[in-house]
Each structure stands twice: as structure tokens, then as C-alpha cells.
Amino acid sequence: MTGVVVTIASLLVLVAATPSLAGEQTAKEDCISRIQKLDTSNAEGQERLDEKNAVIAFCSNQYKHDRTIAELVKACARYEEQPVIKQQAVAECQLAAFGYAEALRTLKADYGK
């Protein structure tokens, strides 16, 4: 469980460090806008987990051809267990991976690499 905490913390630091980079996104809804909308949600428990899973499904589709992100998300799922609390942690880890992907994509677009 310590590994998942470290992974979540690392990914969240990366995502938190780049919130202003997301401002240049296109007008259509994308993964990062869905994550930001989720962050403002007041849902709790199973309802919150359902919202997270919907965002994860959307982001998975957006990044289905990115093997690095798929591996990050898959690494988070190794810790999945039945209790909702642990599922919440897995969902947060996966959402952080997608947030990292969005920040990286924005950096690449901004710096042309």
C-alpha cells in the first residue's frame, strides 16, 4: 500500500505543479476538463467513485494509444480491492496519471517537442 501512496503523491505533485498549462486547451471537453469538473463535485462514497470511474473511462479512451499512460494507469490498478476506500485511492492514482499526461502534452505543444 505504501507504493500506491508514493505513486499517487508523485503524480499529484506533477499535476498540481502545472494547473496553468491547462488553460490553453481546446474548447471541446477533454480529459483535464473532466478531471477539473470532478474536483469541484460534492459527491461522496459510491456516487463519487462512479463519477471518478466515468472520468477514467473517458480519459482511457482519449489516451488509448499512449502506452506510457496506459502502463501508469495499469500500475495503479494493481492495488485495487473491494472496499470503496481503496477503490477511491486507485481511482485517484489513475486520474493523477491522466492529469500528468495532459500536463506533458501541453508542455510538448508549448515547447514544440
Q: Is 86 left (phi over 0), alpha (psi -120 to 50) or beta?
A: alpha
pLDDT number for residue 76: 82
Confidence of residue 15 (pLDDT cuts 50, 70, 90): very low
Q: What tens digit of pLDDT does each residue of 38-94 get?
A: 999 999 989 998 999 999 999 999 999 999 888 888 888 776 665 667 778 888 889
Average pLDDT rounded to a whole number, residues 22-30: 54
pTM over 0.85: no
List the chain domain ranges. Answer: 2-12+29-111
Count of alpha carbons within 13 Å of 77, Cβ hemisphere only? 8
